[in-house]
Amino acid sequence: MKLWDKGISPNEALESFTVGKDRELDLFLAPFDVIGSLAHVNMLCKIGLLSQEDYDAIQSELRLIYEEIEKGNFTIEDQIEDVHSQVELILTQKLGDTGKRVHSGRSRNDQVLVDLKLFFVAALKDLVKEIENLFHTLQLQSETYKEVLMPGYTHTQVAMPSSFGLWFGSYAENLIEDLHFFLAAFRVVDQNPLGSAAGYGSSFPLDRRHTTKLLGFSTLSYNVVHAQMGRGKTERSIAFALASLGSTLNKMATDVCLYMSQNFAFVSLPDELTTGSSIMPHKKNPDGFEILRAKSNRLQALPAQLSMITTNLSSGYHRDLQLTKELVLPGIFEAMECLQMANLMIKEIKVNPHLLEKDTYKYIFSVEAVNKYVLEGMSFREAYKKIGKEIQEGSYQDAKSVAHTHEGSIGQLCKQEILEKFQKVRTEFSFKNFESAWEKLLKG
């Protein structure tokens, strides 16, 4: 069954080429196709295009389809092109001509748009929750190891004292910036495209504000051409958020891989979170963080890949846009996996409390010595020259202590302020509006 069938069978090779991975990926959209359809038929009944009797029959069957999806029993048959066609086929098989009325006033163009947006809402909710979990783990580790000093680096050279409290805490605060990207993506997603049809509206008196409220959107994409132009742009906004998260996870994974090497020996992982070598019995490899590093790089490539698909497309729908699903949906699943694994491994990291006893770090407190003289009244330039001369002559004695007290320093990590900053962004996601709206549609 094809919604565009006019009695002519397409070339099988062409059909396989154009359908691509749609059947596979559309299974993830299936529950949201049902939710979108429930809102649509409710609106059709409200404006008089569907009788109450037909509406009751269709919504009842749609809820049964949703139950089968939740049980894992829903499939898209080989001869069926996509999830929209499969749902309509089931309705038609159960209800006859009444089932065919579900497509009145909409196109597959706005149908897939609303399916994707509802899927993205659910996916963003899950991603934000996993980001929150990792944020709290990093905050906890920051508190646990706030007194343990470690070397800080500039130019990959030993520079000044840092601490594991600072190191863990820095990634926690980085996640807040990533959360801003996800919030921006959520605001792009939170616009109802349903009713834009093929991209040019409908001669039916559709009530688009009604479906907007039913589905939980805070607003709608008013201009119907604009609504269609959201395909691709919405995916890119999510890709930028995933790439930002990928950047944070990548740097953290790179740090851990470096810090676990014997030359550094800053941190360690329990045996069950490392792998071994086939010929070197002493090896404990940070493979989890290495794969995390690679996968987070793949996330950072998403915006460029999507741009290459969507660049140079004129307004209106193009089949090219179908391929955006093949990038964004796997990207979302991979980001979820990366966050969960990062959280698991960061929880188990142990740090070396005796790092700075090594001669490698004998001059790491030299800036502290300079600052001590400045606080006693010497100019900074003279103090700098004095300590530099002592280092050259070999008379420098390391104090091995720090007294940083300003906001965000070793002595004042500002974890509470960072938590409040995180929570301020977190509360701006209106996921509950969608959840309550979907629950009403599914329960009637």
Q: For 399-422, what is each residue's pLDDT tens digit?
A: 777 878 899 999 899 999 999 999
CA–CA separation, 356 vs 314, rounded Å?
A: 60
At residue 19, does pLDDT exceed 70?
A: no
Whole-number mean pLDDT of the chain?
Answer: 92
% of the chain exceeding 90 in pLDDT:
76
Fold annotation for 12-103: Fumarase C; Chain B, domain 1 (1.10.275)
Task: Kindly state the tokens that stand for 343.
Answer: 């959280």
At residue 383, does pLDDT exceed 80?
A: yes
Superfamily of domain 113-146+163-202+221-352: Fumarase/aspartase (Central domain) (1.20.200.10)
User: What is 53-84 written as a DSSP string?
Assistant: HHHHHHHHHHHHHHHHHHHT-----TT--SHH
Task: Kindly state the tokens that stand for 244.
Answer: 């930002």
- Mean pLDDT value across residues 135-160: 95
* Burial class (CB within 10 angstroms; exposed 0-12, middle 13-18, buried 19+) of 7: exposed
* Burial class (CB within 10 angstroms; exposed 0-12, middle 13-18, buried 19+) of 78: exposed
- To the question of pTM greater than 0.75 for the whole model, the response is yes
Model pLDDT, residue 101: 94
CA–CA separation, 81 vs 20, rounded Å?
A: 10
| Backbone φ, ψ for residue 50 (5° rounding) | -140, 130
Task: Kindly state the tokens that stand for 309.
Answer: 């698909």
Three-state SS string over 178-238 comes to: HHHHHHHHHHHHCCECCCCCCCCCCCCCCCHHHHHHHHCCCCECCCHHHHHHHHHHHHHHH
Domain span(s) for CATH 1.10.275.10 in the chain: 12-103
Q: For 172-227, what is each residue's pLDDT tens digit?
A: 999 999 999 999 999 999 999 999 999 999 999 999 999 999 999 999 999 999 99
CA angle 246, 247, 253 (to 5 degrees): 85
At residue 4, does pLDDT exceed 60?
A: no
Model pLDDT, residue 399: 74
Q: For 240-299, what is each residue's pLDDT tens digit?
A: 999 999 999 999 999 999 999 999 999 999 989 888 766 777 778 899 999 999 999 999
Domain span(s) for CATH 1.20.200.10 in the chain: 113-146+163-202+221-352
